[in-house]
Structure 1
Amino acid sequence: MYTLLSGLWKYMFQKDEYCVLILGLDNAGKTTFLEQTKTKFSRNYKGMNLSKITTTVGLNIGTIDVGSARLMFWDLGGQEELQSLWDKYYAESHGVIYVIDSTDEERLSESKIAFEKMITSEVLEGVPLLVLANKQDIETCLSVGDIKTAFSDCAPKIGKRDCLVQPCSALTGNGFRLSTEWLEWLLTVLGSNGISCVM
């Protein structure tokens, strides 16, 4: 009887869990994006002072619950020496958010190399991809169109996976409707791919 009730309880109340990597070069705004997300979607989370966020060495983790889904975000350090560790997390991930610093034109080619290496990994084949053109609150930033043009030769390598490119300002929370659009898209594609991990 206990097993039956326990199974029913899990069926009724257990959430589908999805692991989402947040990748990109150092200083792209990955941790700021994660902090904004946790602050907006976690009831009791106060958040840290965004102006005091420093470069991630290793890994930051954040979890939010939305409806019947739980999203676990893994924000990985983006320094060149840490990028070699990214692929250790690929097999566990159900989605990738790749953050690009729209104000750093000098490092755009470096970001593109890291993106291309990530996207051509066989382990990530078919995994949904959200690309965020961050720091759109700064006047001198590149537009989404500029970034799409710079990354255009990577487009065929994206393959048949679900992919969305959006402008954003992780610092201000403006410019990409932080509260709904990207998250609704991500939940939709994760659910439609039938990929979840229940831990």
Structure 2
Amino acid sequence: MYTLLSGLYNYVTSKEEYYVLIIGLDNAGKTTLLERIKSVFMGVPGLAPEKIAPTVGLNIGRVDIKSARINFWDLGGQRDLHSIWERYYTECHAIVFVVDSTDKKRLEECKDTFEKMITNDRVEGVPILMLANKQDLSGALRVEEIKEVFNKIAVKLGARDSRVLPISALEGNGVKDAIDWLVVRLQRNKLSRPPVHR
């Protein structure tokens, strides 16, 4: 009887757990975004921007949103770390691709990196959220301008859920709306990528 009750209790109190990759070129603001997500959804102050160092390897952030636990994996964006990203593709439920809207010189490199990721068979059917970061800075490309560059490869996204949204990870503008959009897509995509129950 105890086992039955214990199992029922665990089932009722368990959370759906999802894994979300945060990737993009180095210096795009991925770790700043992760800190801002924790700040917005957990009500805790994030790290001060001057204390955020470039990610070498992996940063993890766990955030409870509604009835789900979202595990964000912030992966380093240096070119020699891109091959590591593929190891996480089969386990992830969604991908957040962060673009530095002020780095016009590397926009083509960013597009090539994005294309390589979306054409990998392991991410087929996974929702993709592209965030045009650093919108608070003067000279930042608008979302429309970024979409224009990426439109050439948009057909490769297929029928999966995808969106491009403007944010400022530093100031927090647009972060809550972006993550709210993502959570809805994670739950809609349960059949393709079932959540883990813990």
Query: In which range does the TM-score fall when normalised by the shorter chain?
Result: over 0.9
- Corresponding residue number in structure 1 for 2:116: 117
The amino acid across from 1:24 in the alignment is: G
Q: Distance in 2 between matches of 1:137 and 1:47?
A: 18
Q: Cα deviations across residues 47-84 of structure 1 (Å, max 9, x unaligned)?
A: 21123212111000000001210000000000000001
Q: Secondary structure at the match of 2:196?
A: coil
- Corresponding residue number in structure 2 for 1:15: 15
- Corresponding residue number in structure 1 for 2:37: 37
- Corresponding residue number in structure 2 for 1:164: 163
What are structure 2's unaligned runs of at least 5 residues? none
Moved over 3 A (4+): none
2:188 to 179, 192, 196: 192
Give the drift of 1:171: 0.5
- Corresponding residue number in structure 1 for 2:81: 82
RMSD value, Cα: 1.1
The amino acid across from 1:2 in the alignment is: Y
Q: Distance in 2 between matches of 1:102 and 1:47?
A: 22
- Corresponding residue number in structure 2 for 1:57: 56
Give the drift of 1:189: 1.1
Give the drift of 1:29: 0.3
User: TM-score, with normalisation over the residues of structure 2?
Assistant: 0.95
The amino acid across from 1:78 in the alignment is: G
Give the drift of 1:160: 1.0
The amino acid across from 2:116 in the alignment is: K
- Corresponding residue number in structure 1 for 2:150: 151
Q: Distance in 2 between matches of 1:15 and 1:170?
A: 27
Q: Cα deviations across residues 157-186 of structure 1 (Å, max 9, x unaligned)?
A: 111110011000000112x2x23x222211
Q: Secondary structure at the match of 2:197?
A: coil
The amino acid across from 2:164 in the alignment is: V
Give the drift of 1:8: 1.3
Count of equivalent residues: 195
The amino acid across from 1:27 in the alignment is: N
Q: Cα deviations across residues 3-56 of structure 1 (Å, max 9, x unaligned)?
A: 21112112211100000000000000000000000112124x432112321211
Give the drift of 1:128: 0.4
Q: Distance in 2 between matches of 1:14 and 1:198?
A: 6
Percent of aligned pairs with the same amino acid: 53
Give the drift of 1:193: 1.1
Q: Cα deviations across residues 68-110 of structure 1 (Å, max 9, x unaligned)?
A: 1000000000000000110011011000000000000000011
Q: Does 1:2 align with 2:2?
A: yes
Distance 1:46 1:139, change over 3 A: closer
